[in-house]
Structure 1
Amino acid sequence: MSAKLNQNPEQIARDKIDTTLTDAGWIVQSKHKVDLWAGSGVAVREYQTDVGPADYVLFVDRKPAGIIEAKREEEGHRLTVVEDQSKGYAEATLKYLNNDPLPFVYESTGVVTRFTDYRDPKPRGRNVFSFHRPETIREWLKKGKSLRTALNGLPSLDTTGLRRAQVKAIEKLEDSFRNNRPRALIQMATGAGKTFTAATFIYRLLKFADAKRVLFLVDTKNLGEQAEQEFMTFQPVDDNRKFTELYTVQRLASSYISSDSQVCISTIQRLYSILKGEELDETAEESNPNESTWMQKQLGKRKAVPVEYSEKVPIEKFDFIVIDECHRSIYNLWKQVLDYFDAFLVGLTATPDKRTFGFFNENVVSQYTYEQSVTDGVNVPYDVYSIETDISNKGEVVQAGWFVDRRDKLTREKRWQQEDEDTEYSKNDLDRKVVNPSQIRNIIREYKRALQTEIFPKRFNENGEYEVPKTLVFAKTDSHADDIIRIIREEFNEGNDFCKKVTYRIDEDPKSVLNRFRNSYYPRIAVTVDMIATGTDVKPLEVLLFMRDVKSTNYFEQMKGRGTRTIDNDKLMQVTRMANTKTHFVIVDAIGATRSKKTDSRPLERKPSVKMKDLLGAITMGVEEEDLFLSLSNRLIRLEKQITPKEKEKLLEHSGGKNLKQMAKELINAFDPDTIKERTQEKISQTPIEERTPSKEEGARKEAHQELIREAASTFNGELNEYLENVRQEHEQIIDHINIDSVVNSGWDHFTIDKAKETVHDFSEYLKAHKDEIRALSIFYNQPYQRRDITFKMIKEVMEKIRLEKPKLAPDYVWNAYATIEKVKSNQPKDELTALVSLIRRACGIDKQLKPFDKTINENFQDWIFKQNAGKHNRFTPDQMEWLRMIKDHVLSSYHIDMDDLDYTPFDSRGGRGKMYQLFGNEMNDLIDELNKILVA
Structure 2
Amino acid sequence: MDKRQLSERDICTKFITPAIEQAGWDIATQVREEFPLTKGRIIVRGKLHTRARNKRADYVLFHKPNMPIAVIEAKDNKHSLGDGMQQGLGYADMLQVPFVFSSNGDGFLFHNKIAKDGVIERELALHELPGPDVLWQWWAEHLGLNPAQSELVSQDYYSDGSNKTPRYYQLLAINKTIEAIARGQNRLLLVMATGTGKTYTAFQIIWRLWKSKAKKRILFLADRNILVDQTMTNDFKPFGSAMTKIQKRQANKSYEIYLSLYQAVTGTEEERNIYKQFSRDFFDLIVIDECHRGSAAADSAWREILEYFSSATQIGLTATPKETKDVSNIDYFGEPIYTYSLRQGIDDGFLAPYKVVRIDLDKDLTGWRPDKGMVDKHGNEIEDRIYNQRDFDRNLVLEKRTELVAKKISDFLKQTNRFDKTIVFCDNIDHAERMRRALVNENADLVAQNSKYVMRITGDNEEGKAELDNFIFPESKYPVIATTSKLMTTGVDAQTCKLIVLDQRIQSMTEFKQIIGRGTRINEDYDKYYFTIIDFKKATELFADPDFDGDPVQIYEPKGDDSPVPPEDGESPKTDDGFTYPHAEESPWLGVAEPLPGEEGSSIRRYVVANVEVKVASERVQYFDAAGRLITESLKDYTRKALAKEFSSLDDFLRRWNDAEKKQAIIDELANEGVFFEALAEEIGRQSGKEFDPFDLVCHVAWDQPPLTRKERAEQVKKRDYFTRYGEQAQRVLQALLDKYADEGVGPIEETQILTIAPFTSFGTPMEIIRAFGGLDKYHHAVHELEQVLYGSSPLCA
**Category of TM-score, reference length = shorter chain:** 0.5 to 0.7
Q: 8 Å contact 1:469–1:543 — kept in the other structure?
A: yes
RMSD of Structure 2 on Structure 1 (CA): 4.7
Matching residue of 1:352 = 321
3-state SS of 2:463 partner: coil
Matches of 2:732 and 2:609, distance apart in 1: 67
Instruction: Report the equivalent of 2:676.
Output: 815
Q: Deviations over 1:747-798 (max 9, x none)?
A: 54565993787999999899888889xxxx99956334346x4255x469x5
**Residue of structure 2 in register with 1:737 after alignment:** 610
**Map of 1:309-708 to 2, 5 A cutoff?**
311-332=276-297, 333-334=299-300, 335-341=303-309, 342-354=311-323, 356=328, 358-360=330-332, 362-405=334-377, 416-417=378-379, 419=381, 421-422=383-384, 424-450=386-412, 459=416, 467-493=418-444, 494-495=446-447, 496-508=451-463, 510-519=465-474, 520-568=476-524, 571-572=525-526, 581-595=527-541
Kindly provide the amino acid, as one letter, of the partner of residue 208 in structure 2. Answer: R
Identical-pair percentage = 22
Which amino acid is the alignment partner of residue 390 of structure 1? D
1:277 to 250, 259, 270: 270
Map 1:159-174 to 2 at 5 A.
161-174=165-178
Q: Secondary structure at the match of 2:541?
A: coil
Deviation of 1:231 after TM superposition, in Å, equals 3.1
Corresponding letter in the other structure for 1:195: T
CA contact (8 A) 1:382 1:587 kept: yes
Task: Give the Cα–Cα distance (whole angstroms) in 1 for the partners of residues 153 and 519 of structure 2.
Answer: 37
Q: Structure 2 CA distance, aligned partners of 1:587 and 1:850? A: 34
Contact kept, 8 Å, 1:443 with 1:743, in 2: the verdict is no
In structure 2, C-alpha distance between the alignment counterparts of 1:916 and 1:400, rounded to whole Å: 88
Kindly state the Cα deviation for residue 823 of structure 1 after the two structures are TM-superposed: 3.1
Q: Is the contact made by 1:541 and 1:562 (CA closer than 8 Å) also made in structure 2?
A: yes
Structure 1's 723 and 438: CA in aligned 2 closer, same or farther, altered over 3 A? Answer: closer
Q: Secondary structure at the match of 1:228?
A: helix
| Matches of 1:272 and 1:934, distance apart in 2 | 74
The alpha-carbon deviation at position 483 of structure 1 amounts to 0.7
Distance across 1 between alignment mates of 2:458 and 2:751 = 64
Letter in 2 for 1:259: K
Q: TM-score under structure 2 normalisation?
A: 0.60
Residues 926, 366 of structure 1: alpha-carbon distance in 2 compared, 3 angstrom cutoff:
closer
The alpha-carbon deviation at position 447 of structure 1 amounts to 3.6
SS in 1 for 2:467: helix
Partner deviation per Cα, 1:163-184 (whole Å, 9 max, x = no partner): 0010000000001101111111
CA distance in 2, matches of 1:816, 1:469: 25
Evaluate the alpha carbon distance shift between residue 253 and residue 436 of structure 1 in structure 2; reply closer, same or farther with a 3 A threshold.
farther
AA aligned to 2:185 is R
Query: Helix, strand or coil: the match of 2:359?
Result: strand
* Other structure's SS at 1:588 match: strand
1:889 aligns with 2:740: yes
Is 1:785 aligned to residue 658 of structure 2?
yes
Cross-structure match for 1:69: none
Q: Are 1:728 and 2:584 counterparts?
A: no
> Could you tell me how far apart the structure 1 residues matched to 2:345 and 2:465 are?
30
Which secondary structure does the structure 1 equivalent of 2:178 belong to? helix
String of CA shifts for 1:62-95, please: whole Å, max 9, x gaps.
xxxxxxxxxxxxxxxxxxxxxxxxxxxxxxxxxx
- Equivalent residues of 1:502, 1:514 under 8 A apart: no
Q: What does 1:771-920 correspond to in 2, within 5 Å?
A: 780=653, 782-786=655-659, 789-790=661-662, 794=665, 810=672, 814-815=675-676, 823-825=683-685, 838=694, 845=699, 847-848=701-702, 856-861=709-714, 884=735, 887-889=738-740, 892=744, 895=747, 897=749, 904-912=756-764
Q: Deviations over 1:354-383 (max 9, x none)?
A: 354532453422111111111111102122
Counterpart for residue 286 of structure 1: none
The Cα shift of 1:856 comes to: 4.2
Displacement of 1:199 in angstroms is 1.3
Richer in helix (by share): 1
In the alignment, structure 1 segments of 5+ residues that lack a partner are 1-147, 236-241, 280-307, 406-415, 460-465, 573-580, 599-720, 803-808, 870-878, 919-923
Structure-1 separation of matches of 2:322 and 2:305: 20
**Paired position in structure 2 for 1:153:** 152
Over 3 Å counting, the alpha-carbon distance change for 1:367 and 1:910 in structure 2 is: same
1:723 shift after superposition: 10
SS in 1 for 2:459: coil
Instruction: Provide the rounded CA distance (Å) in 1 between the counterparts of 2:677 and 2:284.
Output: 50
Aligned to 2:119: none
Residue 170 (structure 2) pairs with residue 202 (structure 1): no
Deviations 1:601-628 (A, max 9, x none): xxxxxxxxxxxxxxxxxxxxxxxxxxxx
Inter-CA distance 423–771: structure 2 relative to 1 (3 Å threshold): closer
The SS at the match of 1:203 is helix
Residue 403 (structure 1) shift = 4.5
Q: Find the aligned partners of 1:904 and 1:396 in 2 and give their Cα distance.
A: 68
- TM-fit CA distance, 1:744: 0.7
Residue of structure 2 equivalent to 1:669: none
Question: SS at the partner of 2:194?
Answer: coil
Q: Map Cα deviations across residues 79-128 of structure 1 (whole Å, 9 max, x no partner).
A: xxxxxxxxxxxxxxxxxxxxxxxxxxxxxxxxxxxxxxxxxxxxxxxxxx
Say whether the 8 Å CA contact 2:456–2:484 is kept in structure 1.
yes
CA distance 1:768–1:733, shift in 2 (3 Å): closer
Change over 3 Å in CA distance of 1:749–1:927 after alignment to 2: closer
C-alpha distance in 2 between matches for 1:320 and 1:762: 52
In the TM superposition, residue 859 of structure 1 has moved relative to its aligned partner by: 4.6
Q: What is residue 259 of structure 1 aligned with on the other side?
A: 253
**Shift in alpha-carbon separation, 1:888–1:356, aligned structure 2, 3 A:** farther
- Quote the offset at 1:741 in angstroms: 0.8
- Aligned positions of 1:108-257 closer than 5 A: 153-158=152-157, 161-209=165-213, 211-218=215-222, 220-221=223-224, 224-234=225-235, 242-250=237-245, 252-257=246-251
Equivalent residue letter for 1:225: I
Q: How far is the alpha carbon of 1:502 from its aligned partner?
A: 1.8
Distance 1:861 1:476, change over 3 A: same
1-side partners of 2:257 and 2:651: how far apart?
57
Q: Distance in 1 between matches of 2:184 and 2:678?
A: 48
One-letter identity of the residue aligned with 1:782:
R
SS at match of 1:744: coil
| 1:384 partner letter | V
